[in-house]
Amino acid sequence: QQQVKQSPQSLIVQKGGISIINCAYENTAFDYFPWYQQFPGKGPALLIAIRPDVSEKKEGRFTISFNKSAKQFSLHIMDSQPGDSATYFCAAKEAGTASKLTFGTGTRLQVTL
């Protein structure tokens, strides 16, 4: 049973465009929602994270939108750049656990010139 569903599987966006990746979850005990970015040949690295008491968090060109009632959250990359081309994973952590994350299946983003 996949606890965090991520879409789309792959995404092609033109330079300067907006990239949007969506995730949905069922477990209402999740209390921390990070996004990880992975470049080829590298391990995933934390990009941005949000807790369910806020609906949006922005860091530079990256924004997480969180809809608690719909149990959905999304990553928006504004002014997408070729250097943003990577695989993005959403994740969720259950309350009462420290850093035990449940990951989505990943979205491969390609930003074209």
Residue 24 binds other proteins (CB under 8 A)? no
Residue 100 binds other proteins (CB under 8 A)? yes
Min CB(94)–other proteins separation in Å: 11
Min CB(56)–other proteins separation in Å: 20
Q: Can you tell me the distance from the alpha carbon of 32 to that of 53, in angstroms, rounded to the nearest whole number?
A: 10
> Which helix (H) or strand (E) is 66 found in, with range?
strand 62-67
Residue 32 binds other proteins (CB under 8 A)? yes
The number of residues that bind other proteins (CB under 8 A) is 24
Residue 63 binds other proteins (CB under 8 A)? no
Nearer to other proteins, 19 or 106 (CB): 106
Min CB(44)–other proteins separation in Å: 5
| Cβ density class 67-95: b for 16+ within 10 Å, e for less | eeeebebbbbbeebeeebbbbbbbbbbee
Q: Can you tell me the distance from the alpha carbon of 54 to that of 66, in angstroms, rounded to the nearest whole number?
A: 7
Q: Can you tell me the distance from the alpha carbon of 100 to that of 70, in angstroms, rounded to the nearest whole number?
A: 23
Residues at the contact surface with other proteins, assessed by CB under 8 A? 2, 4, 9, 32, 34, 36, 41-46, 49, 89, 93, 98-106
